[in-house]
Chain A
Amino acid sequence: MTLGKKETDIIVIGSGVGGLIAGLTALEHGHEVQIISKGKGASIMSAGVIDVCGYYPKGDLCLEPMKGIKAWGKDSRHLFNNLGLGKNINAGLDFFKKQVATGGLSYVGNTEKNMLLPTILGTIKPTCLAPYTAADGDLGNIEGRVGLVGFKHFPEFSPSLATASLKEQFSLTDTYNPGKNVNWEPITLDLAEVSKRPYASPMEVAEMFDRQEVFEILLDKLSCLLKEDRWDCIGLPPVMGFLRAEENIRNLKSELAMPVFELLPLSPSIPGFRLLHSLEECYHLKSGRRSEQNFSVISLKSRNGKIELTGLFRGKEHKLVANCCILATGGYIGGGLQPGSGKIMVSVLEHILEISPDGLFQEQFFPADGHRALGMGLGVNNNLQPLDSDGGLLLPNLFAAGDVLGGYDFVRELSGFGVAIVSGFLAGENASIILEQGDGSV
C-alpha cells in the first residue's frame, strides 16, 4: 500500500479515537484528510465504552455527567473549560454515534444520566455511552433473575466469582441502589469448541463466535436452559465475536426474548478492538482510505503558511505537506508524551513539559488528589491550538486532541474517550474552519 498523496488539506497524526474522530469531522466538511500514526496506541486497550465524567473531584460517584463536568470545570485550568464545558459535548457524541454506526456498531446512552455497567470482575463502572452489546447490563434497568454465563476451559471469566462480587456490592449511593433487586446466578456452559483444549483465550473465543455454527450451538444451549428454568436476563463475557458481536447479541435477544448483554472487559479488550475497527471502517467508507499505521514523524515545521512533516515510512524518509495538522498522538501509553532527560517531551513537536519538583507520581497507588503525571500534557487555547510557555501559538495551523492534552485526568475523572471525542470533534471543526476561511484565523 502506498502512502497516498504528498500534499493534502489536513493531516491527523494519531489513529486512536481522538485522531479518527478529528479526521472524520474534517471529512464531513468536505476536506481531504490523511491520518497517519506510528502504531496502535492506547485506544485499543479501552473497554469500548465512552466515559464523559464518572466521578466528582471529591471522589464521589457521578451519575449526571453534565453536573460532573461543571464541578471539574470550576478549576479554570481544567481542560473541560477549553472544550466549552457542556456546550459541545452532545454535538461531539452525536457525531461519534453516527460514525460508529456507519462503521457497523451501534452506541446508546446520553449525557443526562450515566449507565452503571458490570465488568467481567464483578465490579461496577459508570459510563456515558455504551455499545449495543453491553447496554442491557445497565444496573439502572436490570431486574429479576440474571444468569452470568461462563464457558468451560475459559478461565478468563469466572461466573461464580463475578456473581459473588455483584451480590456483595453494597448500595452505591444512599438513595440509589441500582441492581438491588437483581438475583445474580452463575451458569457454566460446556461448548465443545471452547473446551476442546484445556484453555481458550479471549481472542480465540471471540473468533469462534464470529462463526455462525458456533453461535448456533450457543443459542441452542441457552434456549434449552431457559426452557428448564425461569430467567429474566443473560449476561455473557465480552468475547461474543470480533465482527459479529452486535448481530449475535441482537439474535440472542430476539430468540430468547429477554435482555442480553456483554460484561465490560479488562485486558485484552475485544470491545475496544471493535470500537477502533468501526471507526476505521467508517473512515474507509467515507474517504476510500485507511489510516497509515507505519509512519513515524521525525519533524514538523511550518513552511510557507503550511505544515511540513518529515517522517519514516517503511524505512524511507518521506515529506508530507498539509494546510492544517491535528496532533492526536496520545499520552504516555500511546507515546505522545515521552520521558527523556528528566523531562517530558511532547512527541513530534519536541515541546518540553516542565515537571514539578514534587515528581510525577505519588507513593500511594491511588491517591485522592490524583497523580501529577496524569494531569500533564500539551496546553491549548479554546480553539485547541497548542500554546507555548508564554501563551502564544506553538505553530499556526496546528491543533491537538486526545490524551496528548493536559489539564485533565482520565483515571480520576473517568473521562477518557469523552475528552478524545469532543476534542477530536472540535479540532476537526476548527481546522476545517481555518481552511474555509483561508486566512489562518479561526
Chain B
Amino acid sequence: MAKEFEVVVVGGGTTGTAVVRDLAMRGIKNVLLLEKEDLAAGTSGRCHSNLHGGGRYIVSDIETAKECLHENRILRRIAPHTIDPTDGLYLAVDEEGLEYTEEFIKNADAIGMYYRELDPKEVMGEEPLLSRNVLRALETHDAGFDPFRLSVSQAIDAQRRGATIWIHHEVTKINVSGGKVTTLEIRDNLTGAEKTVHTRFVVNAAGPWSGRVCATAGIDIPMKPDKGTCVVYNFRLARPMVHILRMPTDGDALVSMGYQSTTILGTTSGEIVEPDQAQPTLAEVERMEACIAPAFPMIKQAKRLRYFSGVRPLCQAGPATGREISRRLILIDHNEVHGVEGFITITGGKFATARLMAKVAVDRVCTHLGIDKQCNTHLELLPGAETRDNVEKKGRELAKKYYLPFYATQKLAARYGSEADDILSQYPEQAYIVCQCCQVMAAEVVHAIRKEGACTINDIRRRTRIGMGTCQGANCLPKVAAIYQKYKGSTPQDTRKEMINFLQQRWKGIFALDIQSNSISHAVRLQAVYGVLANLPELRPGYCGKGGEEE
C-alpha cells in the first residue's frame, strides 16, 4: 500500500529542510522530505560557509543585501549554534578599495546594516598574515557557519514536529493526472528498492537539480546551474572572515572554519555546468589566489588541502552570465505556468535567505491547501540553540566531568548547544576524541547514527566533520568505521566498502590538486595507510583471486 502525504518536499538542502520545518510548524505534519543523497550533500554543503550579512552585496545589489541582513539577524537568533564565533572583516587595500568603501558606508547607513570602522594598524597587528597595506578596515556581522549543522537542525526540528525524512531517496517520476500531481515514484539509492507515495502537493527545492525534478513531471524550466569552486587551506589564515572591499569578483573572501584549523577561499562564478559534473580546476584556484593576494600576500605559500565545487541554482531564461543573473529567489507555480496543479519550484536565492525562500513557498502551499497559518520560523529557536555565553561554561563543566580537553568540549557545546550534555551522558563510553584533526568525539559519531539519521560514513562526516581536517581520514577513519560497524550492525566487508566509498570521496578533492600544495604527502599517506598498513582486500583488483603465479 503506497503511503500518503499531504505535501512532499524534494531536496534536503537548507531550503528543503527549511520548507519541511515551516510546514510542520504550521500544522501540516504529514509531510515527507525526499533527498537523493544526504542532507546538505548538494549545493548547501558545497558553499563557501559564508553567512552573508549584506556586506558583499551592499554596493552591487542592495535589495539582496537587505534580504541577507534581515535573514542573518534571524539566523543568529534562532540558530546560534550553527554560526561561528567570529565576525566579518572588510579591508580596503588600494585606491579602488577606498572609493568602494565610501559607497559601502553610504549604503550600509541607508539600510541600517551594522559596521564599525577599525584602526588598520590594530587590525594588521592582530592578523600577522595580512597585507601591510591595509588602508581601511570595517567590522561587520558576516560570519562563517556550518551548512550541514543548519540543515540537520532544521530537519530534526521538522521530525520532532511530525515530519518524515527519507534521505538517499530519489524522485524518479512525478505522475500528473487530470492536470494535478497524484503520485511520486521514488528509488532508495542505497538498496535499489522502489516506492510510490501519494500526495496533494509537491515543493521542488532540489537546487540545481530542480530542472531534473521538473523533467520527471514532463516540465521544462530554464535552470542555469552556475559552478562555484572553493579551495581549503591546511591552517587558519586569520581569525575573522576576511573580505576585500571591491565589487564582487572571484576569490573575494577567506572564511576560517569555526572551531577548525582550516580556511576556505572562495569563490568563482560564470560557468554553467550539469550539477553532477562540476569539477574544480587549478585555473580557478590560481585566479582566486591572485584575487585575494592583495589582502594575503603569502597565499601562494599556503598549503592547499583540497578543493571542491558547488553549483548555484540560478534560474532565468536569457543569455546573462552567472553574476549578472540576480540571485533573488524565484518561485515558479507550475499551475500558472504549465497547467500542473499542486506543484511549485522554489529556487535561486542565497544560502542566507533559505528560510525566507521556505516562507514564500509554504505561503503558497497554504494558500492552495486552504490553510490560514502564519509563518513563525523566524521566532522559534532551532533544537540545540544556545547562546555563546553558556557555551564556555558548559564546555568547562563537560571537560571536568569527562576528563576531556576544554577545546573539544567547548566546541561540542557550541555545535550541539543544549544537546551537548545528552550526547555525552547517553554515550559515556564514547567520551573520547576519535578525530584528532577536528576534535570530534566518538559520542558525536554514535549520535549521528542513532539520532541524526546518518546511513553512510559520508553522512557521519557531514554531521560531525570527521575526516575534514589535515589527515582527510588517514588517522580517524578506521575508528569511525568501527563505531559505524557496531551501531549499524553492518558486516565487516560492507564496512570496508563504506570506508573505500569515503576515501574515494575524499580523494576526488585531492588527487588533481596542483603539486604546489601539501596534498601530495597527504595523498600518499592515504595510500600507505589503507593500501599497505590496512591492506583492505577490496582495494586490490585480484582480490579473492587465485593467489598464485600469474603468467
Contact = CB atoms under 8 A, between A and B. Distances in A.
Given A155-B442, A161-B492, A60 B525 contact: no
A411 B547 contact: no
Contacts of B540: 55, 59, 61, 366
A278 to B, nearest CB: 20
B525 to A, nearest CB: 6
B533 A47 contact: yes
A339 B534 contact: no
Contact of B534 (A123, A126, A363, A364): A123
Interface stretch (A89-97, A163-171, A222-230): A163-171
Contact of B547 (A121, A169, A176): A176
B550 A58 contact: yes
Contact of A173 (B442, B478, B547): B547
B515 A331 contact: no
A160 B495 CA distance: 14
17 contacts: A47-B533, A60-B548, A60-B550, A155-B442, A158-B482, A158-B486, A161-B482, A169-B537, A172-B544, A198-B431, A199-B432, A333-B525, A339-B516, A340-B516, A361-B523, A374-B527, A412-B531
Contacts of A176: 547
Given A60-B542, A124-B535, A374 B550 contact: no
A55 B542 contact: yes
Interface centre among B503, B527, B530, B540 (most CB of A within 10 A): B527
Contact of B428 (A54, A63, A198): A198
B479 A156 contact: yes
A441 interface: no
Contact of A414 (B493, B504, B532): B532
B219 to A, nearest CB: 34
A71 B549 contact: yes
B524 interface: yes
A interface: dominant SS: loop
Interface centre among B433, B508, B511, B535 (most CB of A within 10 A): B535
A360 B546 contact: no
Contacts of A368: 541
Given A339-B517, A374-B527, A267 B542 contact: no
A244 B353 CA distance: 62
Given A57-B550, A332-B520, A361-B512, A264 B533 contact: yes
B477 to A, nearest CB: 9
Contacts of A168: 491-493
A164 B504 CA distance: 25
A119 interface: yes
Given A198-B403, A339-B516, A342-B516, 5 more contacts: A59-B545, A123-B496, A161-B482, A333-B528, A355-B515
Contacts of B527: 366, 371, 374, 411
Interface in A324-378: 331-333, 339-344, 355, 359-366, 368, 371, 373-374
B432 to A, nearest CB: 3
Contacts of B535: 54, 119, 123-126, 414
Contacts of B177: none
B74 interface: no
A67 interface: yes
A267 B515 CA distance: 25
Interface centre among B533, B543, B549 (most CB of A within 10 A): B533
B492 A362 contact: no
Contacts of B546: 60, 173-174
Interface in A97-141: 119, 121-126
Interface centre among A51, A61, A355 (most CB of B within 10 A): A61
Nearest to A414: B532
Interface of A: 42, 45-47, 51, 54-64, 67, 71, 119, 121-126, 155-156, 158, 160-161, 164-165, 168-176, 197-199, 264-267, 269, 331-333, 339-344, 355, 359-366, 368, 371, 373-374, 410-412, 414, 416
A124 B521 CA distance: 25
B520 A373 contact: yes
B337 to A, nearest CB: 40
Contacts of B545: 59-61, 173
Contacts of A62: 547
B515 A344 contact: yes
Contacts of B549: 56, 64, 67, 71
B217 interface: no
B197 interface: no
Sorted nearest first, the 9 A-B pairs with minimum C-beta distance are A173-B547, A59-B542, A199-B432, A339-B515, A59-B541, A165-B492, A60-B542, A61-B547, A361-B511
Nearest to B507: A365
A416 B550 contact: no
A167 to B, nearest CB: 8
Contacts of B479: 155-156
A423 B451 CA distance: 54
B521 A416 contact: no
Contacts of A340: 515-516
B320 interface: no
A170 to B, nearest CB: 6
Nearest to A170: B544
A415 to B, nearest CB: 10
B485 interface: yes
A42 B532 CA distance: 13
A414 B536 CA distance: 13
Contacts of B514: 342
Contacts of B511: 360-363
Interface in B222-238: none
Nearest to B536: A123
B541 A56 contact: no
Contacts of A64: 549
Contacts of B534: 119, 121, 123, 266
A368 B540 CA distance: 7
A125 B534 CA distance: 8
Contact of A164 (B429, B492, B539): B492
A160 B492 CA distance: 11
Contacts of A374: 524, 527
A185 to B, nearest CB: 15
Contacts of A158: 482, 486
Contacts of A411: 527-528, 531-532
B252 to A, nearest CB: 26
A71 B550 contact: yes
A336 to B, nearest CB: 11
Given A60-B545, A169-B537, A365-B504, A341 B516 contact: yes
A359 B520 CA distance: 12
A71 B507 CA distance: 30
Nearest to B525: A333
B500 interface: yes
A358 B320 CA distance: 35
A197 B403 contact: yes
Contacts of B407: none
Nearest to B539: A366
A67 B433 CA distance: 45
A168 B495 CA distance: 12
A198 B432 contact: yes
Nearest to A340: B516
Contacts of A414: 532, 535
A156 B477 CA distance: 11
Contact of B432 (A155, A165, A331): A155
Contacts of A333: 521, 524-525, 528
Contacts of B507: 363-365
B269 interface: no
Contacts of A160: 486
A266 B529 contact: yes
A160 B543 CA distance: 24
B474 interface: yes
A394 B137 CA distance: 54
Given A119-B533, A362-B511, A198 B429 contact: yes
A64 to B, nearest CB: 8
A75 B493 CA distance: 34
